[in-house]
Structure 1
Amino acid sequence: MVVAASLLLTGCFATASAPADGEQRLRVVMMQPPRSGLSPLSDDAFKLSRWSTAETLVTLDANGEPQPALAEKWRWSDARTWTFVIRSGVRFHDGTPLTAKDVVRSLRRAATAAPKPRILDGVDLAITGKGHTVTVTTATADPLLPQRLSSPQLSVLAARAYKSKTVDPIGAGTGAFILKRVDGTSSATLDRNDDYWGGRPKAPGIDVRFVPDGTARAAALRSGEADIVEAVPVSQASLLEKDQITEVPMPRTNTLYLNTGRGVFRDPAMRAAAREAVDAGPLVNGVYEGRADVAEGLLGPAIPWAKQRPERGRPTPAGDPEGRRVTIGTFTDRAELPEVAAALQQQLDKAGFRVKLEIREYANIESDALAGKFDAFILSRATVLDSGDPAAYLYSDFAGDGSFNISQLADRTVDKALEKASSTPTGAARRQAILEAEAAVLGTDAAIPMLHERVIQGDAANVVNSAKDPRERLLVTVDTHVG
């Protein structure tokens, strides 16, 4: 399989990567193929962002604070109203100029989507615009709105993208690279946008291959068939040269979600028994070869203020599993997760559970996980992916009406804490409210955080200025090129 994948990469890149005027196109190998035709209303939006083809009104700095992008500036007009001034001189890839009308169209499509982008969970928006001014009004005060608008799922696209029920981003962005072609779940091609408002990109284009197999991704870098490889598996990192990999603590937590809605783990005592049985140390040192951090909560070392978490209340006493049978699901797309599942199976079996594993590709298991068809589910989950603020992740995953509530949790105390965290103004008070919400979630044992991952990115030695982004929003930027 590895040899076949390597040959496939060679065949793809040999023609598409030919130098243009002495410049070399970037050959990028990514882990997960598109699941929704690269619609920005899905998680595919993060691919558009990592290729610098689709852009948002706002971007985030290293501290998670909002910075200008397609919006030059903004102000909080009153408790529920924000006004954004759209950048002048920006054109979409089809040549049409960016106006407030385009922003309104894109944001309204996202706000009325079913399901909504998770960054809009619990948020009702009214969007109006004229000329180069856009006004966004929320049903309740939302101090996090600028950060929300930085989510790649709220990218602004040209009118051509919205001509059918599905959103088609080909040739419709504003970014440094123009998406020209997508070949199903195998590849994508992007060319340089010479008229990019942020300056002429240094690379002439990007040729992307989607390779779920982590060993094959790493092999492509070792053999010189790829320039940039995302998500290098821990097992492959030691096989690469030290100057080929970058390791950065990231806001991503490997968590065991327990189904509180039905089955064995509906009983709090059984959830407590699972919590007591899980030992993350062997997972970090064995499966992750020391390239991860044992979790102390849902939020990890990539969020420095998480260390200030409050004392948790007395945990629920653990019950006796007495041979109770549970099914744990996870997916193959992240190479470490099946190994984590096998290790957890042993730990839980030792505690008295009888564990069956069900492992598939993510695209084939997500719907079942969200429908509550497993007793437990192992997930590698980014905790500040959308807004740079953990409140959105916590609400999405643990609120009673959250769109990604794998644990099927419906707890009034948790919901109240999440609502407080979501509504508190940014700053120290909001951070404290977020940590209190985290404590409320952990108090239910609906989720057992095991470890915090580190992003391992592979770059060829001659790649210059690829982004090493803990939030996984950036990869190829206007300054990335082969030297």
Structure 2
Amino acid sequence: MKKQAWRVLFFATPVHRDQGAHMARIRLAGGIALLAVTASACGLGNDDRPSGAGDGGGHLVYAEHLPPVAAWALESNDAFTLTRAGCLEPLVQSELDGSLSEKLATSWEQVEPTAWEFQLREDVQFQDGTPMDADAVVGALTHVLEAKTPARSFNAEVISGVEAVDESTIRIETKQPDVLLAYRMASPNTGILAPKAYEGEQIDIEGTCTGPFEVVEENSQQSLTLERNETYWGGTPALATAEIRFIVDGEVRATQLQAGEVDIAPYLPVAHLTQLEGNDDLAVTTTEQPRTTAMMLNNSRPPFDDPLVRQAIQRAIDTQAIADSIYEGVMSPAIGPFAPDQPWAPQDVSPVSPDLDEARRLLDEAGVDPSALSFQLMAYVSRPEFPDVAAVIQDQLGQLGIEVKIRSGDAATFEPEWLAGDYDAALLSRGYLLDVGDPAGYLAADYTCAGSYNVAHYCDEETDTQVNQALQNENQGARYETYRSLAQKLQSEAVNVFLVHESGVVGATTSVENFEQHPLNFYVFTKDLDVS
């Protein structure tokens, strides 16, 4: 059997693990890596699956780790799932090197300090045959803007309004100068659906997208059935049909990949790496991502409203041990919110060293008896390692006499409690380029007083001022210096306990062609995705 071939472009440097020929680890040095899968001489097959249309188009099954939880409301994370499905498209595309390119818009310009204009791609039709014109785009974006639960990247705190200039031009007004608006328009939350999608009580995704694939059937919380969009503006898609299976459990995703029941599976448990690497029918790749796992601390109520208590917790947790034991060295201990190889990360900084004596001293200074300290730690199961991480934290803090009660469940169930401030602590995997392709978006959403995703419920006037100034600063170097300073502040104040900088483990059968692993996991079902 011919082995899997990988091409690494842009800023990526491959580092191969000893255990397997099909495993590559990609380090992102301030850029994004592109992994392009080429066909092998043989691969897994499933004769029971449809082979596609009569023109020879194939069929592919993808294991999606996030099922829809908000009836496809585009202000929610459901938009990201719908974008990966090749259905929903935004105006701007986030490329694999972090740059922006044309999607449903062909150009954009900041015409005034608080106004941008976007020129729309002509002759694009929604899958129901209606035209994608300025009125349709304005309607779609206004629907998101008026959502009760705002999108992190595009909301009324940032955007004043959207209007049509002419049939193919829209104008977006911002409340203050925002040099990053084009990055906001690459977020899946700003994807465009046909007017028909918004007519019912919930979003209708069948026939209302512009992408290379159309949703033709939804089996609630189980799967989506896709067919190629024969009239796609970007050309005819290679695949004829596809299925997306919603599989929250990482162990199940790994098992189905090994059995050949799915063709692509993301966020695989690191505990399965050796076994997966030994399978010649699979290509398994680990890519460092702009994403950090943290133990979020509710700064708005005791005991974590006291920075001394937060710092004590931080000093009692051994992040190197977590990286080595739970993540088997695939992930690295965190130095703060940003990975050290990012151009805006603090330089020459090491992870916090565990020191139980110092932790006891800090608690004593705070007037807190560790044996009287008890809190609940939430760990959601769609991240397969989180229950084990929680158990390690429970043990490490137990050495101080602190009681940690673990609560496992679904992220969708936990999130309303986080946002309402009705929790103590929670494990959270958060991408710092996910909402806006610049850290200012993450900092504004997560660490300003009125931030739309301020799970920590952290509020500091100076931080607000610095973030707002960064959003208006066209000087990239100056913005990066601000991010560096804020990262050091968040770490030194132990606003949260940043645990590990993440790597995403994704597996694909060697029959998969032209699969490009996007570091932000925006796109899967592209026009060129295929199976041999």
TM-score range, shorter chain: over 0.9
The answer for the alignment partner of 2:53 in structure 1 is 20
- Give the alignment of 1:56-455 within 5 angstroms: 56-120=90-154, 122-129=157-164, 130-241=166-277, 243-301=282-340, 303-308=342-347, 318-320=362-364, 321-323=369-371, 324-425=373-474, 427-455=476-504
| Secondary structure in 2 matching 1:166 | coil
Task: Tell me the residue number matched to 1:464.
Answer: 513
What does residue 7 of structure 1 align with?
A: none
Q: Match of 2:345, SS?
A: helix
- Residue 426 of structure 1 deviates from its aligned partner by 5.4
Structure 2 distance, partners of 1:430, 1:65, is: 17
Q: TM-score, normalized by length of structure 2? A: 0.84
Residues 459-468 or 443-452, more deviating = 443-452
Give the superposition deviation at 1:163: 0.5
The 2-side partners of 1:34 and 1:426 are apart by 38
Higher helix share: 1
Task: Give structure 1 regions of 4+ aligned residues with deviation exceeding 6 angstroms.
Answer: 309-312
339-348 or 57-66, which deviates more: 57-66
CA contact (8 A) 1:310 1:436 kept: no
Question: In 1, Cα distance between the equivalents of 2:47 and 2:105?
Answer: 39
Q: Does the residue aligned with 1:328 lie in a helix, a strand or coil? A: strand
Q: Distance in 2 between matches of 1:118 and 1:302?
A: 25
Q: Report if aligned partners of 1:250, 1:302 keep a CA contact under 8 Å in 2.
A: no
Name the CA distance, whole Å, in 1 between partners of 2:528 and 2:201.
Answer: 35
> Using a 3 Å threshold, how does the CA distance of structure 1 residues 468 and 27 change in structure 2: closer, same or farther?
same
* Of 55-64 and 128-137, the range deviating more from structure 2: 55-64
- Please report how far the alpha carbon of residue 35 of structure 1 lies from its aligned counterpart in structure 2 after TM superposition: 0.6
More off after superposition, 114-123 vs 137-146? 114-123
Alignment deviations for residues 142-178 of structure 1 (CA, whole Å, 9 cap, x no partner): 1001000111000011110110343222211111101
Deviates more, 1:62-71 or 1:146-155: 62-71
Report the CA distance shift for 1:307/1:52 in structure 2 as closer, same or farther (over 3 A): farther
8 Å CA contact 2:87, 2:212 repeated in 1: yes
Q: Is the 8 A contact 2:225 2:244 kept in 1?
A: yes
Q: Which moved more, 1:416-425 or 1:140-149?
A: 416-425
C-alpha distance in 1, partners of 2:336/2:425? 18
Aligned match of 1:5: none
Deviation at 1:307, TM superposition (A): 4.8
Conserved 8 A contact 1:17-1:207? no
Q: TM-score, normalised by structure 1?
A: 0.92
Q: CA offset at residue 308 of structure 1?
A: 4.3
How far apart are residue 209 of structure 1 and its match?
0.7
1-side partners of 2:96 and 2:475: how far apart? 16
Secondary structure in 1 aligned to 2:370? coil
Deviations 1:424-470 (A, max 9, x none): 22521222222223233334322111101111111001101112111
| 1:361 Cα deviation from its structure 2 partner | 1.6
User: What is the alpha-carbon distance in structure 1 between the residues aligned to residue 263 and residue 50 of structure 2?
Assistant: 10
**What SS class does the counterpart of residue 264 from structure 1 fall into?**
coil
Cα 1:458/1:269, change in 2 over 3 Å: same
SS of 2:272's equivalent in the other structure is helix
Q: State the match for 2:37 in structure 1.
A: none
Task: Tell me the number of residue pairs that the alignment of Structure 1 and Structure 2 aligns.
Answer: 469
Distance in 1 of aligned mates of 2:380 and 2:350: 33
CA contact (8 A) 2:237 2:528 kept: yes
Q: Note closer, same or farther for the CA distance 1:67–1:310 as it changes in structure 2 (3 Å cut).
A: farther
1:58 and 1:302 map into 2 onto residues whose CA distance is 26
Percent identity between the two aligned chains: 32
Aligned to 2:362, what secondary structure does the other structure show? coil
In the alignment, is the contact (CA less than 8 A) between 1:414 and 1:440 conserved in 2? no
Give 2:363's aligned amino acid.
G
Deviations 1:100-119 (A, max 9, x none): 11111111111111111111
Quote the offset at 1:25 in angstroms. 0.9
SS of the equivalent of 1:226 reads coil
